[in-house]
Amino acid sequence: MVAESNPVRRLRRHLANRRRGLVAASVAAVAATALAAPLAASAGGFGDAGGLVDAVRSAVTDAPASVAELRAAAARADESTGAEAADEGTVTLSLAPTAGTTLDPAGPIAIDVEIVNGTAATLPAGSIRLTRSERPLDEQAELDAWIAGGDAPASDGTEGDADSGTDGGGDAGDAGAGDASSTDASGGETLAELPSPSLATGSAETISFTLPAGSLDAAVPAPVVGLGAELVLDGGGAVTTTAAFAVTGDTGPEVPRLTLAYPLTVPPESVGIITPELIELWTGPTGLLTRQLNAVSGQPIAIGLDPRILASIRVLGASAPASAIVWLDRLAAAPNEIFPLAYADADVAAQAQSGVGLLAPTTFADVLDPADFTTPVGGGEADEAPGDDDPADAQGQDPAATEPPAETQPAPTVPTTEQLLAWPYTRTDLAWPADATVATGNLAVFRASGLTTTILDERNVDGTAAGAAATVEGESVVVADAGISDALQDAAVAGSDVEWGSAAGRLGAELAMRAGTGEAPVILGTFQRGAVTQSARVAATLDELAAWGFSTPATLGNAIGAPPTDRGLVSLSEDAQRLDHIRRLLDSEARMGQFATVLEDPALLTGPTRRALLALLDESWPVDFDAWSSAVGERLVAQTATMNAVSVAPSSQINVFSRESGVPTTVENLLPYAVTVQVDAQPSNGRLVVEDRVTTTVAPESRSNVIVPVAAGVGRGDVTLTVSLYSPVDVPVGRPIEITANVQADWEGIGATILAVLLVAFFGIGIWRNIRRRRRARAGEAEAEADGPTAEEVAPGAEPTPEDPTRAQQDGPRSDG
């Protein structure tokens, strides 16, 4: 196959050109962001054909827009460098043991308190107080109340000094701010106090406390100790936070059995296929996917795998990077339970609430190049040069002569969609919606799609239960423990060692509290989606879990198969604005499916459209709703441009002088594929009659001139022709245009009449003259007959008998006058 004739190669070449221009696109990113909203509103208003061609190619080839590419790059940078330690505009506190994540009351205790100034102002100096809970935390309710202490007002009862740049409360991710001087379960007793320095905006400071042995005697023998920190600023204002840590010691024979689930995904993007460059980068020695697999492979944790990763590698065939093949082999060798997520980790709850069921990719034919799937005869050996021990060389034969003729070479075996997505999963019946997004009726939709068990966040169900297995609305679910999942997720995104120690310590406290109940239920904890999750933090957290002894590992099958508890659903629908955006995407996909009938193979357009839709439904997008809204707008604009890429070119006024004529039109095709359309013209009055539609095929990125036959009707004057395009299955294509026709076909009739009259006159006069001439001749003959016989008619020897003297006189000699 000639490379230039292969649309897949042509599209890949286009993608390569786009990637070469990424640096230039980075410079234009700010401008592109500013223009994204008006572009989305105009839905296809491009100022020139060049811009339209670029938009069409971007939509057709699954190529991400430059803004989306930059956002993805920013997300990847977050994964590699760590999330920001503080939310913008807040002062946050974190505290954790200097070494380890548990506390030993029998010896000296070192505690680090980290202060991060996330405000735009300098933080004044002040003092840091280290506190502990006044009462032992030996019940789950007490632990929850201590961790939720941030909901209490600040210690001075005010919001904090606005001039100081504080907000009077701790970071929600660090359990918020509490009242350190209160006497309830959220209160605390001061253990030590140290001065805190002034902090410039964006800076952080760690203050270390050392407590003597016995400082925590009042909090033991409870399994958990609650600690707190309060930053009191000079001039007023305070920030507080609370944390909890397990106490080292014997947890007893009964500890909870812990099941963990981890989503192995990539950062959210607006395209449904990961580019080869990103695949090579992410599967490299220090790449995103490699780091994730390093963190969880061989650990007692179930992996939820995004099938888009498999498909993006496999569609490349022989062109796949070597690092990607190695990564797939490593994944296949991992002993973990593996189950599939939705393609591109698409939001299953949003799909159910949009009324479309659960969607899946339809085809990858548009990105499959048969040349990448040619299997040489004899595997890889056919491509090797024969060595000294080659039998052909030993016999003096030409090695090429021993190869089979070309016609016996096997045809390329292009994989099917099922083959591209296939994997030896442990189970394929799990739905994993985002936390707290499932509404009434969604579970039945999941089951109808073959997903008979759903992982639910604890906030999505009512009541309490010791284990994860439950029945909700008659459906099988496993409920993720909110306290354990929150601690896991906070640990996975921690931006500093102290912040991670605080989150990991809370995880240990949650497990130690459950270990003290004397029960051994199977509980479930889940990691979050998104690029902010750091693989190094995940690995460190899993190592801590193994070292503590507060739980024993359990499989996902153990959690699902445990005796279920009947629980009710707390219906929590997705955000209304998000659902509105999704409906717009679904409507656009439906229109694209109709438009694609202009192609011989509609899958060339419908395939990437479906994959892009699923990519924009990625569960990670809602973390940055503004970026997602912008990506949705860009995709809608691009798809509108694609559907307007086949159109009738505007035309000037035409003149019709003949009753049987044709209207010249130009069909423009900006797609990289040939299209077949029907050209239809409808006149505004009866002066023109259109005989029939004209079917034409237009080559990729070209124009075709088409003549629509028309017949002149009655009268003359202007006629407006509305020219429209239709696909072979009668779907309207593009926007109709109007062409003005000046009909003067009556001159043809007048000219024909004049010519007919002239012909009649010419032939009539000739006939009249012939008739007149013949009449004269006949009259002469009649006169001659009346005068008698001529000399030739008289018999020889006979005398003429004069009958009329006057006649005789007339017949006399002419010379006589």
How far lies 295's CA from each of 243, 289, 292, 498, in Å?
26, 10, 5, 20
For the segment 205-224, the average pLDDT, to the nearest whole number, is: 87
Residue 221: is the preceding peptide bond cis (ω within 30°)? yes
Strongest mean pLDDT among 161-170, 491-500, 684-693: 491-500
> 10 Å Cβ neighbour count for 46?
18
Query: Token match 């006057």: residue?
Result: 806
Share of the chain above pLDDT 90, in %: 54
The per-residue pLDDT for 408 is 52
Q: Are 474 and 463 in contact (CB under 8 A)?
A: no
Calculate the average pLDDT of the chain: 79
Which residue has better confidence, 347 or 24? 347
- In degrees, rounded to 5, the angle at the alpha carbon of residue 241 between the alpha carbons of residues 236 and 246 is 150
The per-residue pLDDT for 637 is 96
The per-residue pLDDT for 12 is 44
How far lies 727's CA from each of 164, 276, 534, 646, in Å?
67, 34, 50, 10
Q: Are 93 and 204 in contact (CB under 8 A)?
A: no
Question: How confident is residue 288, by pLDDT bands cut at 50, 70 and 90?
Answer: very high
Class of domain 103-247 (CATH, top level) = mainly beta
Q: In the chain, where are the structural domains located? A: 36-82+574-644, 103-247, 647-744, 747-781
For the segment 313-339, the average pLDDT, to the nearest whole number, is: 97
Question: How confident is residue 719, by pLDDT bands cut at 50, 70 and 90?
Answer: confident
Instruction: Give 188-198 pLDDT, tens digit per residue.
Output: 789 999 999 99
CA atoms of 606 and 244, how far apart (whole Å): 53
How far lies 674's CA from each of 267, 555, 604, in Å?
35, 53, 11
For the segment 733-739, the average pLDDT, to the nearest whole number, is: 88
The per-residue pLDDT for 460 is 96
783 has pLDDT over 80: no
> 10 Å Cβ neighbour count for 69?
22
167 has pLDDT over 60: no
Three-state DSSP class for residue 363? coil
The per-residue pLDDT for 733 is 94
The per-residue pLDDT for 178 is 34
CATH architecture of the domain with range 647-744: Sandwich (2.60)
CA atoms of 400 and 720, how far apart (whole Å): 69
- pLDDT-wise least confident of 103-117, 167-181, 430-444, 652-666: 167-181
Instruction: Give 549-578 pLDDT, tens digit per residue.
Output: 899 999 999 999 999 999 999 999 999 999
| Helix-, strand-, coil-residue percentages of the chain, each rounded to 5 | 40, 20, 40
- pLDDT-wise least confident of 74-88, 409-423, 573-587, 722-736: 74-88
Q: What is the DSSP letter of 228?
A: E
234 has pLDDT over 70: yes
Three-state DSSP class for residue 336? coil
173 has pLDDT over 70: no
Instruction: Give 404-450 pLDDT, tens digit per residue.
Output: 454 555 667 899 999 999 999 999 999 999 999 999 999 999 999 99
Phi first, then psi, for residue 640 (nearest 5°) are -65, -40
- In degrees, rounded to 5, the angle at the alpha carbon of residue 444 between the alpha carbons of residues 438 and 448 is 125
Fold match between domain 103-247 and domain 647-744: yes
For the segment 245-264, the average pLDDT, to the nearest whole number, is: 87
**Is this prediction's pTM over 0.85?**
no
The per-residue pLDDT for 161 is 38
